[in-house]
Structure formats: structure tokens, C-alpha cells
Amino acid sequence: MITPSTTSVCESIWQQVLDKLQNDIPASRFDAWIRPVVPEINNQALLLKVSNRFFLDGLKSSYGQQILDAVQAISGSDMEVRFTVDPDLEVAAEALTEQKAHDAGRITVDGYIDPRFTFENFVVGSSNEFCHAASRAVADKPGEIYNPLYLYGGVGLGKTHLINAVANALIAKDHTRIAYRTGERFTNELIQAIRAGSTEEFRNQYRKVDVLIIDDIQFIAGKDRTQEEFFHTFNALHEVKKQIILTSDRSPRELTNLMERLRSRFNWGLVADIQPPDLETRLAILASKAELAGVDLDRDVAQLLASRITNNVRELEGALTRLTAHATLTGRTIDIDFARHVLRDLLHEEVRAISVEDIQKKVASYYNINPREMRSSKRSRTLAFPRQVAMYAAKDLTTLSLPEIGEQFGGKDHTTILYAVRKIYKMRQDDDDFDDEMDRIMALLK
Ligand code: ADP
Ligand code: MG
């Protein structure tokens, strides 16, 4: 294999640290404290460089531990991390501000758009081709065909990548003013504006744009004031044919706590869903990511990762980064044994991952009832008891919370699940025959 450069390894590790921290740190603080950090790998340690002493102290005391934890989780080892001051960065930051002021005359981008996420490095397969084509079309003719464009699907499937690709394509092309927000940031900014009595300014900044992109719009569900504000922004932009792009983890129909008038508007344009990629696409994505990272990935290793990590591209990418990091830092070749060793926790988890649906089917078949009854609320003992066994098994064999399990049993309250778990547990303790039977059922499920 070709050994990837420490620079590219460093970049991909740091990028994943950023992705992780971005979920935990409020956006404005993230932009102020985390984004300016420049990483470097030196003598097998990760060096985090900032422009001055003051910044260094603030960063370490506010986010030092979180950064260490994130690096540890991503590299899967005790990679040494050191914080240092590099005065050159101060100069670079000034130059960047000037460059930005210069660019501002040409295009306006409000919000962070990730330059890594382009159409060129998005791998198209049957699971995402519809979303991809729709995004391309919108990038070609914003405001003209699908408005709004609403992409939805599970975590780590490429929604954020696609909407950034649209933004990057528009930036490259012309004088488009783009505002990019996450649903969370939109909400927080509104709250701040209300507090500061500046809702008028808040409103106006969005009415001026040509393209408004909101990632994870599901965040505003249940927040009345935010929905109200977004509703008016939506109308104002839509009326003058400005493009609106939204992503969500659910379809508009499944977004409970969403105002009806917003739900209907989300359906005005194109609603497209993105599915987990099939094996072939996963292999192609891995190959593409490996190439970007400058790694020559063995076929067997690629096959191992792609066959085990099946429903989240971010995890697939994470596995590759960790492998590359270990290989570079230890000077070892990435072969199948090495991969198995370095990724043992990840691969193991995936093998064991068992779904509630699976449990429901198998328990239903064991008791000879229709699996649909698992989600019903009929109370006859022949149905209720198997259902309780399945609830117990779901709690024992998955990492889901009681409310999450309740959801999968047709929207039952978490207390119903808790009651079932306790009841079966107690029966197992009191009745040896039943306990043996449960052992057999549990074995069937694993
Ligand atoms: P989502 O927003 O759906 O949770 P992201 O867009 O953040 O997912 O994708 C997670 C990671 O997976 C990103 O690094 C992205 O580049 C990558 N990814 C997902 N799908 C693809 C694809 N089809 N081709 C290339 N990279 C992909
Ligand atoms: Mg996303």
C-alpha cells in the first residue's frame, strides 16, 4: 500500500473531531474557538496550533477536555495531543479577513459551507440518485424547478454533503447570495434576536438572499415562535422565486409538532428521500474516500468494512480514518488482520446490532401470532404477553431507550415498556421453567 502523508491523515482526523464537536458546542462558540485551530502531526503527536497565548488559554480551559476526548474516540487510541502558539497564524488570519472582504463584493455567503462537500466527490448509487439528481437540478436553476427542495433520510447518508454541494456549485458559478443555517442555529439566532429586540434585522437578513438552506429543519418542530418566523421567511422568499433547500431526518408527514401550513409548504416542491447505500455503493464510497486521503486500500479490507458497516456512511468513513491513522502512526501495513484488530469494537458492534423489528418478528413467530400485533394495543393475553416478551428482549438486546422502544411498538408510553420489562424479569426469577424458556427465546434472537 501507499503510505498516506501525515498531512492528509491529520486533516481527516481533525475533520472528524470538528464534526463531532460541532454537535456539542454552540455554533457561534464553535466558529470562534474551534474553527481557527490549525492541526499538524509531528512526531506521532497531534499538534493543535493557535495564533496567540490568550487564545490558547481560553481554548484549553473551555474545550481542552472535549477535544482530547474527541481525538481519543476517533483515533481509537491514546494519541498524544499538544496545544501550541504559532504567531504566523495571526498574520494568516488577517490576510483571510482581507480576502473575504474582497470576495464580499462578488458573492455573499452567510454561514459556513464546507468546501469538501462537492458533487464531484459524491458517489452516486441507487440509494441516493434521486436526491443527487434533484440537487443537481436545483444547483443549475435555483428557484425555478423544485422549490422547496426537501431531502430527508437517516443519519450519515449524505444530506448535508448534498446541500453543501449545491452551495459550492452556486458559489463557483455566479453572484448568488446564499444563507446557510442549521435548524438549531436558526432557532438560536431568533431567540437571541428576540432578547435583543432585533427581530426586524433577523428577518431582513433572510429576505435579502437568493438561496436559503436550512440543514436539519426537524429541529424547529415543536418550537412555535421559530416556526412562525420561518413560515413568513418561507413565504417571502418563495413568492419571489428564491430557492429554499431543506433537509430533515424525517418526511414532512412524519414531522410531528409541525404547523400544518408549514407541512403543506414543505410538500410544494420536491420531497426526496435518501436511503442507506447498497454494498456496491459502499465500496465505491470507500474507494473514493481512500483516494481523497491518499490511501491505497486493499480489496479484502474494503470488503470487510463495506460488508460490516452498512447503514451509515459517516461510520464507514470513520473506520477508514482510524485505520489510516493507526497505520501511519505505527508504520504498519493495512491488511485484514490489522483492520480487524484496530476496528474490533466497530466491527463487533455491527455484527451484533439487532433491530427491534427483528425481535418483534421472531418473538411473534415463536408465539405464533401476527407480527403486526406487536404494534397494536389489543390487550388479550395471547397477544399482550408475547408483546411484553418482545419489549423485554428489545430492552436487553439493544441500546435503545424506553421511549425509543415504545415508539417501535406502535407509539407506546415508556412506562408501558418499563412495566413489561419488570414483569418478565420478575417472572424469570420466580419460575425456573419460564426462565429456561426465556433463555431459548433470547438465544433465537442473537
Ligand atoms: P447526513 O447529513 O445525511 O447525516 P452527511 O452528509 O453529513 O450525512 O454525510 C456523512 C459523511 O458521509 C460525510 O463525510 C459525507 O461526505 C459522506 N457521504 C455520505 N454519502 C456519500 C456519498 N454518496 N459519496 C461520498 N460521501 C458520502
Ligand atoms: Mg446532516
Query: Which residue would you say has higher pLDDT here, 262 or 20?
Result: 262
**pLDDT value of position 151:** 98
Closest CA to 231 of 260, 199, 191: 260
Q: Which of 55, 88, 121 is the last residue of a domain?
A: 88
156 lines ligand 1 (CB under 6 A): yes
State how far the Cα of 287 lies from the Cα of 296, in Å rounded to an integer. 8
Taking the CA atoms of 317, 322, 325 and 331 in sequence, report the sign of the dihedral they define. Answer: negative
Check whether residue 316 and residue 364 sit in a common domain. Answer: no
State how far the Cα of 341 lies from the Cα of 344, in Å rounded to an integer. 5
**pLDDT value of position 232:** 96
Q: Which of 241, 274, 307 is the last residue of a domain?
A: 274
Total number of domains constituting the chain:
4
Query: Which residue would you say has higher pLDDT here, 331 or 142?
Result: 142
What residues sit around ligand 2, an ion, with C-beta below 5 angstroms?
Answer: 160
pLDDT band at 199 (very low <50, low <70, confident <90, very high): very high
**pLDDT value of position 352:** 57
- Interval 405-420 mean pLDDT: 95
Residue 318 belongs to domain with CATH number: 1.10.8.60
pLDDT band at 173 (very low <50, low <70, confident <90, very high): confident
Percentage of the chain beyond pLDDT 70 is: 94
Per-residue pLDDT at 308 exceeds 80: yes
Residues 6+ apart with CB under 8 A from 199: 190, 193, 229
Check whether residue 260 and residue 327 sit in a common domain. Answer: no
Check whether residue 283 and residue 267 sit in a common domain. Answer: no
Write the single-letter amino acid at 366. Y
- Interval 431-446 mean pLDDT: 88
Q: What is the mean pLDDT of the chain?
A: 89
Burial of 436 (C-beta count, 10 Å sphere; 0-12/13-18/19+): exposed
CA 157 / ligand 2 centre spacing (Å): 8
Check whether residue 174 and residue 267 sit in a common domain. Answer: yes
Per-residue pLDDT at 92 exceeds 70: no
Closest CA to 437 of 445, 446, 428, 426: 428
pLDDT band at 93 (very low <50, low <70, confident <90, very high): low
155 lines ligand 1 (CB under 6 A): yes
Contact 272, 134 (CB under 8 A): yes
**pLDDT value of position 27:** 80
Check whether residue 326 and residue 371 sit in a common domain. Answer: no
CA 319 / ligand 2 centre spacing (Å): 18
161 CA closest ligand 1 atom index: 6
User: Does residue 205 belong to any structural domain of this protein?
Assistant: yes
Residue 42 belongs to domain with CATH number: 3.30.300.180
For atom 11 of ligand 1, the residue with the nearest CA is 314
- Interval 191-216 mean pLDDT: 94
Check whether residue 314 and residue 336 sit in a common domain. Answer: yes
Residue 182 belongs to domain with CATH number: 3.40.50.300
User: Does residue 102 belong to any structural domain of this protein?
Assistant: no
Residues 6+ apart with CB under 8 A from 92: none
Per-residue pLDDT at 260 exceeds 80: yes
313 lines ligand 1 (CB under 6 A): yes
- Interval 271-287 mean pLDDT: 95
User: Does residue 257 belong to any structural domain of this protein?
Assistant: yes
Per-residue pLDDT at 236 exceeds 90: yes
Per-residue pLDDT at 312 exceeds 70: yes
161 lines ligand 1 (CB under 6 A): yes
What are the distances in angstroms from CA 436 to CA 366, 427, 429, 439?
15, 11, 11, 5
State how far the Cα of 310 lies from the Cα of 59, in Å rounded to an integer. 36
Per-residue pLDDT at 1 exceeds 50: no
Check whether residue 298 and residue 190 sit in a common domain. Answer: no
Contact 237, 207 (CB under 8 A): yes
Residues 6+ apart with CB under 8 A from 80: 44, 45, 46
CA 411 / ligand 2 centre spacing (Å): 26
- Interval 118-141 mean pLDDT: 96
Check whether residue 135 and residue 243 sit in a common domain. Answer: yes
Taking the CA atoms of 341, 347, 351 and 353 in sequence, report the sign of the dihedral they define. Answer: positive
Phi, psi of 427 (to 5 degrees): -60, -40
**pLDDT value of position 404:** 92
Residue 383 belongs to domain with CATH number: 1.10.1750.10
Give the domain range for residue 257.
129-274
Least confident window among 89-103, 181-195, 428-442: 89-103
Q: What residues are paired with 152 via a beta bridge? A: 248, 273
Check whether residue 47 and residue 64 sit in a common domain. Answer: yes
Percentage of the chain beyond pLDDT 90 is: 64
pTM of this structure: 0.69
Query: Which residue would you say has higher pLDDT here, 1 or 66?
Result: 66
Query: pLDDT digits over 361-393, tens only?
Result: 999 999 999 999 999 999 999 999 999 999 999
User: Does residue 161 belong to any structural domain of this protein?
Assistant: yes
Q: Which of 88, 111, 138 is the last residue of a domain?
A: 88
User: Does residue 100 belong to any structural domain of this protein?
Assistant: no
Check whether residue 193 and residue 306 sit in a common domain. Answer: no
User: Does residue 110 belong to any structural domain of this protein?
Assistant: no
User: Does residue 303 belong to any structural domain of this protein?
Assistant: yes
Contact 180, 216 (CB under 8 A): no
User: Does residue 107 belong to any structural domain of this protein?
Assistant: no
Closest CA to 220 of 258, 192, 260, 179: 258
CA 186 / ligand 2 centre spacing (Å): 15
Q: Nine-digit cell at 398?
A: 439493544
Check whether residue 380 and residue 333 sit in a common domain. Answer: no
Check whether residue 299 and residue 395 sit in a common domain. Answer: no
Per-residue pLDDT at 319 exceeds 60: yes
pLDDT band at 348 (very low <50, low <70, confident <90, very high): low
